[in-house]
């Protein structure tokens, strides 16, 4: 069964969610096109801070519905976090008394400059679509950010409704409390819409990959706990063959084994499978072909020189010479950041160094990839819940120490805000950055959009510190942002697959980093199939696509480029990671 047949008579709101890199954007675009081609009026919305809808659809999008050329009945838009944050700041400032002094207004504006405000403001746009509807459209399809960010988004109506119901005093981290109270009814309406199976459906997207399936299972459970039980499963990129080619046969066996072992809760959901394609999902023509049978592709010859390059061990050798430092692995979800970060950490330990391997990803798969212990390697994660508890305890023991009972109760109320978790995670990240002064720290970051929010918080903290300490804080304080900007201290590794969309998204991330005066050190292109020697026609067609992306990278995108080979079975465990490094 294909996705359009699975959806049947779709609800008004459709959410496509799943681990990064599973094909949420491709599927949401293809389903939106299919519905529009059948005469339905469809609005496609990206909630991902690192949206690539523009590239997929071939049209420049903004924060209002834009008709998609070549697709009558289809419009699309990106929720713009920066624009939403500015609108939100304006609304909150408008709630202040007209006689409020300018310095107090400036203080409130600064309070509203962090990543938490950006998140809640973008969420407010999302709430508007759920509560006010989208006049003129039969369906609103949400192409969401990777799972951790989306779970946070979908849990916010419940979190903020509960917070506002219990907190009728004081101020929150978003500024004057009136700025939140004016949203309360909208949050409740959003929660009601999300939980109504007649109005909202959740499409869990996965690939036939063990980690992606684990995350889909976890997401399904957490969404049910939020009252979102109208779920269906789409398994994207399934490869099937009766070929004797070893690479093709091994890949097909691995996919079949994953599908045969689906967790019970996922196995009971309505399910569709979409086959692996030989072409990139970019442009309307390709998206319309996703649900149709693909003609047998011809075998294409590709020059071996076009597909060769240094491997990961050469990169790790260069890192090891420094003896210490912060290594941050970034990129689109599903490109293998966790594998690369883990392989780098194992490789450095094998070269005689102590390494702290951690992750900022709410989905946190790093321990599952390492799957073992070795002397000199410490593996953990930044746990948002634990960090929030630690932060609250610290604030109550310091700022709340001399307050009376009523004052402490008010402070605890304020700290119950969902924003506290964002602040706490930033503080944990700052500790990790500082630790690299005397040791190796390897950070497996969350998918791009979530990482950009963390970097926004880092920048906001830097601005606050430099303002508080005067125009020239040099010699008195070194902020986390200054550490990230120092190439002798921090090495940023961008990971991508040899495909159009992951390379484009990594290139956009590189641009964002450069605007913050952070220069990426190198790119790692993961899962290149060129070295497999496969003769399978579909896989050979994919190799031809790889050569085009490598040429694009060598044409100026990447200062340094390293390659990791495709493995039919994901490299899990210290011994297998060591073979990569």
Q: Which of 19, 24, 337, 491 is catalytic?
A: 24
Q: Quick one: angle between helices 500-515 and 448-469, nearest 10?
A: 0
Q: How far apart are CA 49 and CA 419, in angstroms?
A: 18
Active site residue 48: yes
Active site residue 23: yes
Active site residue 11: no
Sign of the CA dihedral 544, 546, 549, 554?
negative
Q: Which of 501, 528, 532, 547 is catalytic?
A: 501
Q: Which of 25, 161, 458, 504 is catalytic?
A: 25
Task: Name the nearest CA neighbour of 491 among 344, 338, 310.
Answer: 344
Q: How far apart are CA 564 and CA 103, in angstroms?
A: 54
Active site residue 407: no
- Contact criterion met (CB below 8 Å) for 502 and 335: yes
Task: For tokens 């020189």, name the residue.
Answer: 305
Active site residue 265: no
Q: Which of 21, 114, 325, 331 is catalytic?
A: 21
The contacts found for 565-570 with CB under 8 angstroms, 24 or more apart, are 565/527, 565/528, 565/529, 565/531, 565/532, 566/247, 566/527, 566/528, 566/529, 566/531, 566/532, 567/527, 568/247, 568/250, 568/251, 568/253, 568/254, 569/250, 569/254, 570/209, 570/210, 570/211, 570/339, 570/369
Q: How far apart are CA 325 and CA 344, in angstroms?
A: 13
Q: Which two tokens stand for residue 173?
A: 């981290």
Q: Which two tokens stand for residue 109?
A: 């504006």
- Contact criterion met (CB below 8 Å) for 83 and 72: no
Q: Which two tokens stand for residue 444?
A: 């497996």
Q: How far apart are CA 477 and CA 142, in angstroms?
A: 43
Radius of gyration of the chain from its Cα atoms, rounded to whole angstroms = 24
Q: Which of 34, 46, 48, 143 is catalytic?
A: 48
Active site residue 181: no
Active site residue 34: no
Task: Name the nearest CA neighbour of 233 among 209, 207, 195.
Answer: 207
Largest CA distance in the chain: 79
Q: Which of 23, 175, 334, 400 is catalytic?
A: 23
Active site residues: 21, 23-26, 48, 501
């Amino acid at each position: 069964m294909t996705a359009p047949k699975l959806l049947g008579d779709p609800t008004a709101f459709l959410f496509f969610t799943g681990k990064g890199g599973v094909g949420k954007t491709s599927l949401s675009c293809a389903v939106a096109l299919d519905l529009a081609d059948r005469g339905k009026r469809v609005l496609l919305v990206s909630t991902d801070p690192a949206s690539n809808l523009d590239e997929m659809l071939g049209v420049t999008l903004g924060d209002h519905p834009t008709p998609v050329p070549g697709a009558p009945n289809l419009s699309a838009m990106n929720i713009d976090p920066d624009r939403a944050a500015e609108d939100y700041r304006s609304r909150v400032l408008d709630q202040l008394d007209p006689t409020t002094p300018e310095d107090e207004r400036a203080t409130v504006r600064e309070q509203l400059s962090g990543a938490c405000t950006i998140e809640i403001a973008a969420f407010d746009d999302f709430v508007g679509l759920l509560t006010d509807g989208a006049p003129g459209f039969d369906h609103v399809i949400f192409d969401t950010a990777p799972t951790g960010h989306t779970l946070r988004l979908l849990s916010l109506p419940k979190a903020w409704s509960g917070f506002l119901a219990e907190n009728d005093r004081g101020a929150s981290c978003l500024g004057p409390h009136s700025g939140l109270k004016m949203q309360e009814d909208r949050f409740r309406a959003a929660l009601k819409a999300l939980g109504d199976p007649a109005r909202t459906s959740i499409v869990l997207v996965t690939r036939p990959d063990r980690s992606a399936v684990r995350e889909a299972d976890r997401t399904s459970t957490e969404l049910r706990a939020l009252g979102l039980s109208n779920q269906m499963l789409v398994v994207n990129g399934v490869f099937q063959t009766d070929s004797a080619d070893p690479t093709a046969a091994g890949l097909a066996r691995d996919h079949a084994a994953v599908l045969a072992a689906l967790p019970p809760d996922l196995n009971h959901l309505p399910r569709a499978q979409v086959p692996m394609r030989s072409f990139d999902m970019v442009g309307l023509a390709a998206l319309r072909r996703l649900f149709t049978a693909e003609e047998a592709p011809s075998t294409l010859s590709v020059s071996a020189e076009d597909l060769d390059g240094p491997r990961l061990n050469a990169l790790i050798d260069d890192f090891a010479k420094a003896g210490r430092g912060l290594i941050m692995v970034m990129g689109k979800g599903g490109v293998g950041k966790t594998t690369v970060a883990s392989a780098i950490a194992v490789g450095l330990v094998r070269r005689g160094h102590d390494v702290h391997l951690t992750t900022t990803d709410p989905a946190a798969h790093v321990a599952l990839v390492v799957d073992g212990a070795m002397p000199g390697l410490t593996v953990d994660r930044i746990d948002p819940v634990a960090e929030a508890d630690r932060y609250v305890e610290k604030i109550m023991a310091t700022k709340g120490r001399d307050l009376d009972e009523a004052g402490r109760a008010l402070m605890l109320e304020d700290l119950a805000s969902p924003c506290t978790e964002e602040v706490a995670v930033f503080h944990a990240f700052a500790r990790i950055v500082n630790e690299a002064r005397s040791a190796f720290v390897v950070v497996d970051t969350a998918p791009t959009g979530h990482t950009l929010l963390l970097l926004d918080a880092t920048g906001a903290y830097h601005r606050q510190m430099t303002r508080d300490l005067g125009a020239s804080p040099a010699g008195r304080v070194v902020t986390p942002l200054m550490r990230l900007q120092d190439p002798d201290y921090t090495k940023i590794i961008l990971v991508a697959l040899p495909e159009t969309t992951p390379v484009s998204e990594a290139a956009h991330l590189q641009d964002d980093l450069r605007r913050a005066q952070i220069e990426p050190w190198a790119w790692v292109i993961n899962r290149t199939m060129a070295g497999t020697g496969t003769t399978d026609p579909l896989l050979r067609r994919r190799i031809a696509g790889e050569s085009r992306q490598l040429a694009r990278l060598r044409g100026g995108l990447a200062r340094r480029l390293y390659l990791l080979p495709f493995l039919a079975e994901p490299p899990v465990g210290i011994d297998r990671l060591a073979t990569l490094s």
